[in-house]
């Protein structure tokens, strides 16, 4: 029986179960309800890692119904300080090509109706979101991708839409015109909630498609769910390789600002 704590959390597709050695599953309940599924806790290169399949083991939870607060609260409860998330994203620019990875550094939230804060009663807290992703973890990820010869972008902005439908051409054109790089459905509020718990959060986003296509390129067809699944499955091995190499390179102590995110954030008079 292993003890039920971990220092690093992974949130991603169910293809990532196999990353953990000697994994055990625990069923958790938080004050925000149950996480997406049982949490697996095991080892990667001597480090204790917890894994949550964001959409559930059998991929049955749509993006707008993922229990984001329960997932983050559960990881926090078992001691996780750093989260490595994986996401499938669409590209809004020609230079962000399918099969490439992006270490996201900014998001724009276009979702609605999601529970996106732990501070919704009794206390007024305004957490800074200027740099929403952990700089330290993001840098480590990019360095490791470099070492492994993976094609990646060391920064990128994601616009997060509510889903589950994909964008119209007009919406996609608007997002491209705004200068956003990628588009997805699950980064928000996951990344924001992690910050509210003073946890580090980095996303390894995998580009799976060109959203509705590219202007003037009739050969690039609009995205389909099937295509996203295929590209993601083709590349999941590479993402796993990256995570397997990244985890042991993460310093035990944190030198980033995430751990003090709530300092000065409480509104008082």
Residues belonging to the active site: 209, 211
Spatial separation of the C-alpha atoms in residues 21 and 46, rounded to whole Å: 9
| Min CB(204)–Zn ion separation in Å | 15
Which residue among 200, 205, 212, 261 contacts Zn ion (CB under 5 A)? 200
Kindly state whether residue 262 participates in binding Zn ion, applying the rule CB under 5 A: no
Helix, strand or coil, per DSSP, at residue 175 = helix
* Closer of 194 and 231 to Zn ion (Cβ): 194
Kindly state whether residue 258 participates in binding Zn ion, applying the rule CB under 5 A: yes
- Would you give the binding string for Zn ion spanning residues 99-138, x where CB under 5 A is met? -----------------------------------x-x--
Kindly state whether residue 228 participates in binding Zn ion, applying the rule CB under 5 A: no
Q: Based on C-alpha coordinates, what's the Rg of the chain?
A: 18
* Closer of 77 and 135 to Zn ion (Cβ): 135
| Contact between residue 242 and residue 141 where contact means Cβ atoms under 8 Å apart | yes
| Min CB(28)–Zn ion separation in Å | 24
Contact window for Zn ion (CB under 5 A) among 83-91, 148-156, 197-205, 210-218: 197-205
Handedness of CA 56, 61, 63, 68 (dihedral sign): negative
| Min CB(100)–Zn ion separation in Å | 24
Kindly state whether residue 83 participates in binding Zn ion, applying the rule CB under 5 A: no
- Would you give the binding string for Zn ion spanning residues 147-186, x where CB under 5 A is met? ----------------------------------------
Burial class of residue 30 in the structure, from the number of CB atoms within 10 Å of its CB (0-12 exposed, 13-18 middle, 19+ buried): middle
Helix, strand or coil, per DSSP, at residue 229 = helix
Residue 48, both tokens = 């204790």
| Contact between residue 196 and residue 118 where contact means Cβ atoms under 8 Å apart | yes
Helix, strand or coil, per DSSP, at residue 167 = coil
- Would you give the binding string for Zn ion spanning residues 238-257, x where CB under 5 A is met? ------------------x-
Helix axes 135-148, 225-246, angle to 10 degrees: 100
Kindly state whether residue 199 participates in binding Zn ion, applying the rule CB under 5 A: no
Spatial separation of the C-alpha atoms in residues 220 and 223, rounded to whole Å: 9
* Closer of 84 and 207 to Zn ion (Cβ): 84
The binding site for Zn ion (CB under 5 A) comprises 134, 136, 200, 256, 258
């Amino acid at each position: 029986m292993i003890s039920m704590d971990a220092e690093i959390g992974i949130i991603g597709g169910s293809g990532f179960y196999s990353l953990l050695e000697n994994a055990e599953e625990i069923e958790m309940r938080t004050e925000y309800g149950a996480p997406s599924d049982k949490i697996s806790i095991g080892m990667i290169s001597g480090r204790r890692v917890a894994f949550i399949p964001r959409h559930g083991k059998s991929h049955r939870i749509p993006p707008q119904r993922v229990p984001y607060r329960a997932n983050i609260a559960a990881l926090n409860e078992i001691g996780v300080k750093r989260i490595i998330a994986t996401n499938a994203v669409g590209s809004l620019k020609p230079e962000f090509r399918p099969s490439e990875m992006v270490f996201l550094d900014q998001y724009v939230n276009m979702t609605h109706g999601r529970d996106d804060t732990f501070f919704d009663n009794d206390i007024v807290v305004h957490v800074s979101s200027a740099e929403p992703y952990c700089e330290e973890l993001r840098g480590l990820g990019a360095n490791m991708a470099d070492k492994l010869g993976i094609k990646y972008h060391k920064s990128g902005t994601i616009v997060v839409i509510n889903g589950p439908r994909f964008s119209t051409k007009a919406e996609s054109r608007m997002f491209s015109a705004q200068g956003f790089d990628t588009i997805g459905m699950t980064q928000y509020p996951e990344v924001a909630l992690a910050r509210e718990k003073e946890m580090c959060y980095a996303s390894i986003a995998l580009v799976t498609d060109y959203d509705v296509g590219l202007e003037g390129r009739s050969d690039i067809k609009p995205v389909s769910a099937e295509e996203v699944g295929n590209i993601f499955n083709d590349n999941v091995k590479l993402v796993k390789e990256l995570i397997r190499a990244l985890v042991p390179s993460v310093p035990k102590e944190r030198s980033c600002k995430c751990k003090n995110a709530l300092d000065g954030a409480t509104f008082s008079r």
